[in-house]
């Protein structure tokens, strides 16, 4: 970039201080992890060089620094306080501007700076609330008098009511997107009794009882609980216990008991702690529900088929039992052998008569 400005210096008459400013900015950009001394030196040099340079050089320098996350806070505040023609790209995209700094700039520099802040790709609920309160991004509300047809400014009370309504709506949305970890409404959550049972069975090494208790926690089949426990890495069980909001310390204890290799320490953390560190509770809860839906579909089909098979075999057994019972009753004295023989003969006679009629 310095070479580029040196090439443009002759035809466009750039001053030497413009080149020095851009050279300073370029050298600062090349340092990916600046030390405190380098940050302090850049902060001391930037303001005098910036003020002594031309407007075009200032814009180029601000555009270059708008993508740098290491800009010192003093330099960031200095740039953000410049006229909007220069500060706009920095306000709209700089990653080094904190929420407090954005709010201070919006309150002290005016509507143009606030509109530039609004164009940022992401804003925290705190900054949005402050911007709504300032009402810089909204033009003055106007209404028409129905009787005279004149356009006049809207009453101040109506503007305040609208701002308050918008502020409350933003707060509700922010609370919904950033719900606290204790908010488990609509999510499967382990009860204290179930937690105590899982810990006890893990402590005593009763894997069979642990599997039954885990199936009860998930309200799923034992087959799903067995599949989860068969993952010897322990990750599926960690996902399950995290998804049902089991406390991390209890989860680590259970994992270490059931999978001893997770007790090993690596980089000052046990493998169980490292496993839980990468898990997100919301993602784990979603994965559990996916497992449960698949288990419900598979287990229900298996149960239906088994029930149908048992029903058919049960009906056959019932009919066989009835036939046996009837034969036993006849043998035991319910009817004499002669009468049974007569009944059989009578049946043969009926069949012969039916055949004759069909001819």
Confidence of residue 4 (pLDDT cuts 50, 70, 90): very low
Cα within 13 Å of Cα(262), Cβ side = 21
For residue 12, give Cα distances in angstroms to 6, 17, 19, 57, 153.
Answer: 10, 14, 12, 12, 49
Q: What is the pLDDT of residue 269?
A: 87
User: What 3-state class would DSSP assign to 32?
Assistant: coil
Buried b / exposed e over 167-177, threshold 16 CB at 10 Å, is: beeeeeeeeee
| pLDDT tens digit sequence for 252-302 | 999 999 999 999 988 888 999 998 988 888 889 889 999 998 888 887 655
pLDDT at 173 over 50: yes
Q: Please report, for the chain, the start and end positions of each structural domain, with discontinuous segments joined by +.
A: 2-141+152-177, 183-332
pTM above 0.75, yes or no: no
Q: Are 60 and 19 in contact (CB under 8 A)?
A: no
Q: How far apart are CA 246 and CA 207, in angstroms?
A: 18
Cα pseudo-dihedral 33, 39, 41, 45, rounded to 10: 110
Mean local confidence (pLDDT), 312-337: 49
Cα angle: 186, vertex 192, 195; to 5 degrees: 100
The larger pLDDT score, comparing residue 321 to residue 252, is at 252
């Amino acid at each position: 970039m310095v070479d580029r400005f040196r090439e443009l210096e002759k035809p466009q008459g750039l001053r030497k201080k413009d080149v020095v400013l851009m050279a300073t900015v370029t050298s600062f950009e090349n340092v990916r992890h600046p030390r405190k001394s380098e940050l302090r030196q850049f902060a001391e040099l930037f303001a005098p060089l910036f003020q002594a340079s031309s407007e075009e050089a200032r814009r180029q320098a601000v555009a270059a620094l708008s993508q740098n996350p290491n800009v010192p806070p003093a330099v960031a505040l200095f740039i953000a306080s410049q006229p909007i023609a220069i500060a706009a790209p920095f306000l709209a995209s700089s990653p080094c501007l904190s929420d407090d700094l954005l709010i201070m700039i919006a309150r002290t520099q005016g509507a143009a700076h606030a509109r530039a802040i609004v164009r940022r790709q992401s804003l925290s609920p705190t900054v949005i609330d402050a911007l709504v309160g300032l009402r810089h991004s909204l033009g003055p509300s106007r209404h028409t008098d129905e009787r005279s047809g004149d356009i006049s400014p809207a009453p101040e009370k109506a503007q305040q009511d609208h701002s308050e309504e918008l502020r409350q709506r933003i707060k509700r949305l922010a609370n919904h997107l950033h719900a606290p970890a204790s908010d488990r409404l609509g999510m499967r959550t382990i009860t204290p009794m179930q937690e105590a049972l899982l810990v006890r069975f893990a402590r005593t090494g009763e894997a069979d009882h642990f599997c039954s208790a885990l199936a009860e926690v998930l309200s799923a089949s034992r087959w799903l609980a067995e599949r989860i426990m068969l993952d010897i890495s322990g990750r599926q069980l960690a996902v399950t216990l995290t998804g049902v909001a089991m406390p991390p310390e209890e989860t680590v204890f259970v994992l270490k008991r059931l999978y001893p290799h997770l007790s090993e320490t690596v980089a000052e953390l046990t493998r169980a702690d490292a496993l839980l560190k990468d898990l997100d509770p919301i993602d784990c809860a979603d994965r559990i529900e996916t497992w449960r839906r698949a288990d419900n579909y598979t287990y229900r089909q298996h149960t239906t088929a088994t029930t149908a098979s048992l029903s058919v075999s049960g009906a056959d057994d019932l009919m066989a039992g009835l036939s046996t019972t009837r034969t036993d009753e006849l043998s035991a004295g319910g009817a004499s052998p002669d009468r049974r023989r007569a009944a059989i003969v009578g049946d043969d006679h009926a069949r012969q008569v039916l055949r004759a009629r069909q001819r």
